[in-house]
Amino acid sequence: MASPAIALAFLPLLLTLLIRYRFYFVLFYRAVLLRVWRDCRTGLSREERCFQYVLTNATPGDPESILDGFDSWCTKKEFISHIGPKKGKILDRLLSEHSPLTVLELGAHCGYSTVRIARALPLGARLFSVEMDQKNAAIAEKVIRLAGFDEALVELIVCPSDEVIPRLRADFDLEKLDFVFMDHWKKCYLPDLQMLEGSGLLGKGSMILADNVLFPGAPNFLRYIRRCGLYEWRVHRATLEYSKGIRDGMAELVYQGTK
Ligand SMILES: C[S@@+](CC[C@H](N)C(=O)[O-])C[C@H]1O[C@@H](n2cnc3c(N)ncnc32)[C@H](O)[C@@H]1O
């Protein structure tokens, strides 16, 4: 007799937790459960399913329609952690304000943000996009070329960031980075930022935009930029891509070095 009564006593607590964390439950369902189920059912990876959708719904050579295809799939079908349309607009605005000529992207995944950046760059600019996962990179390469960007504009480098950054000067002939977009594993943000500082590739006014600094979060990175005194910085508050109710933010840093 006691156990139903105890269960009933816990019901309000359970309901409160369900309501309070409903957005996280939805995210877990879309990003994990649905993905595993569809991986087994289709024999394709989530990225391949997304690419197929984009291929059938987008127009080759039209970056906007490719971005729309991705956004539509991630909103209606499954979750992929692209920067998404809302935070994407912040990225678009910063790119149009700064017109960077040399851009480094860390974490291309399927090429969504790569296309987003490439379409906003001025004539003569170059984008170096780094992706360490070979399967993701193969899809990103197809997406970038489908959007109509050639290798003179976008170079995809398939390698972990900590191996690429020290080689950027020698192997890619770079002298200064005007803009860096960080959207790879969050634990790499701080070591990669410090590696960039050490490389001498950041000059006065170089901008670094780091996604997801609040969710999943990059606390060490935020603590460092707050204390190091090398940057003017702010966090653009937003919600997590393709999701309501989960707070996230992008950190915008402007290097104050002397070069
Ligand atoms: C969140 S996704 C990037 C999403 C992409 N920026 C977009 O908005 O479309 C993160 C990607 O970073 C890649 N990645 C993680 N750590 C990396 C590293 N240290 N070097 C290179 N790529 C990395 C992962 O393989 C994954 O594809």
Question: Residue 90 — pLDDT band, cuts 50, 70, 90?
Answer: very high
Segment 36-47, tens digit of pLDDT: 999 999 999 999
- Residue nearest ligand 1's atom 2 by CA: 109
> What is the token pair recorded at 93?
């605005």
**CA-CA distances (angstroms) from residue 61 to 11, 41, 116, 142?**
54, 32, 13, 12
The verdict on 171 and 230 lying in the same domain is yes
Residue from 19, 30, 63 nearest 242 by CA: 30
**Tokens 């995210």, residue?**
27
Domain count, the chain: 2
Hey, which residues are catalytic here? 183, 186, 211-212, 241
Residue 127, SS3?
Answer: strand
Domain for residue 135, yes or no? yes
Q: What is the pLDDT of residue 212?
A: 96
**pLDDT score of 13:** 85
Tell me the average pLDDT across 204-212.
Answer: 97
Give domain status of residue 128, yes or no: yes
Report whether residue 184 contacts ligand 1, using a CB cutoff of 6 Å: yes
Q: Pocket of ligand 1, candidates 80, 81, 109, 212: which has the most ligand atoms within 8 Å of its Cβ, to mutate?
A: 109
**3-class SS of residue 250:** strand
* pLDDT recorded at residue 12: 87
- In order of 46, 99, 206, the CA distances from 253 in angstroms are 32, 16, 8
Mutate which of 133, 187, 193 to test ligand 1's pocket (most atoms within 8 Å of Cβ)?
A: 133
**Residue 2: per-residue pLDDT:** 61
Alpha carbons 181 and 104: distance in angstroms, whole number: 6
How far, in Å, are 25, 69, 117 from residue 32 at the CA level? Answer: 10, 21, 28
Tell me the per-residue pLDDT of 103-150, one tens digit each, with 9 for 90 and over: 999 999 999 999 999 999 999 999 999 999 999 999 999 999 999 999
The verdict on residue 100 lying in a domain is: yes
Q: How far apart are CA 246 and CA 145, in angstroms?
A: 33
Output the CA 135–ligand 1 centroid distance in Å. 12
> For residue 152, what are the CA distances in angstroms to 40, 105, 180, 217?
39, 15, 18, 34
Burial of 223 (0-12, 13-18, 19+ CB in 10 A): exposed
- Averaged pLDDT of the chain: 94
Shortest-distance Cα residue to atom 26 of ligand 1: 109
Ligand 1 touching residue 160 (CB < 6 A): yes
**Between 258 and 3, where is the model more confident?**
3
CATH number (domain holding residue 212): 3.40.50.150
Closest of 55, 241, 184, 84 to residue 193, by C-alpha: 184
Q: Which residue has the higher pLDDT, 31 or 99?
A: 99
58 and 91 belong to one structural domain: no
Cα 215 to middle of ligand 1, angstroms: 15
What whole-number distance in Å separates Cα of residue 3 and Cα of residue 125? Answer: 68
Four-residue CA torsion sign, 77, 242, 27, 221: positive
Nearest CA to ligand 1 atom 10: 184
**Is 8 part of a structural domain of the chain?**
no
Instruction: Kindly tell me if the per-residue pLDDT of 57 is higher than 70.
Output: yes
Last residue of a domain, one of 55, 76, 97: 76
Q: Where is the domain boundary, 30, 59, 76?
A: 76
Do 71 and 103 have their domain in common? no
pLDDT digits (tens, 9 = 90+) for 62-83: 999 999 999 999 999 999 999 9
> Does 144 sit in the ligand 1 pocket, CB within 6 Å?
no
Angle at 192 between CA 189 and CA 235, to 5 degrees: 35
pTM of the entire structure? 0.93
Give the pLDDT confidence of 146-188 residue by residue, as tens digits.
Answer: 999 999 999 999 999 999 999 999 999 999 999 999 999 999 9
Is residue 72 domain-shared with residue 91, that is, in the same domain?
A: no
The finding on whether 132 has its CB within 6 A of some atom of ligand 1 is: yes
194 lies in which domain range?
84-255
pLDDT reported for residue 113: 98
Please tell me which residue, 255 or 24, carries the higher pLDDT value: 255
Q: Please classify residue 91 by burial: count the beta carbons closer than 10 Å to its beta carbon, then call 0-12 exposed, 13-18 middle and 19+ buried.
A: buried
pLDDT of residue 1 exceeding 70: no
pLDDT at 259 over 80: no
Percent of the chain with pLDDT over 90: 85
| Ligand 1 within 6 A of CB of 215 | no
Residues 39 and 150 in one domain: no
**Atom nearest to 183 CA in ligand 1:** 6
What ipTM, to 2 d.p.?
0.99
Residue 180 included in any domain: yes
In the chain, DSSP assigns E strands to 102-106, 126-131, 154-158, 177-182, 202-210, 231-239, 247-255
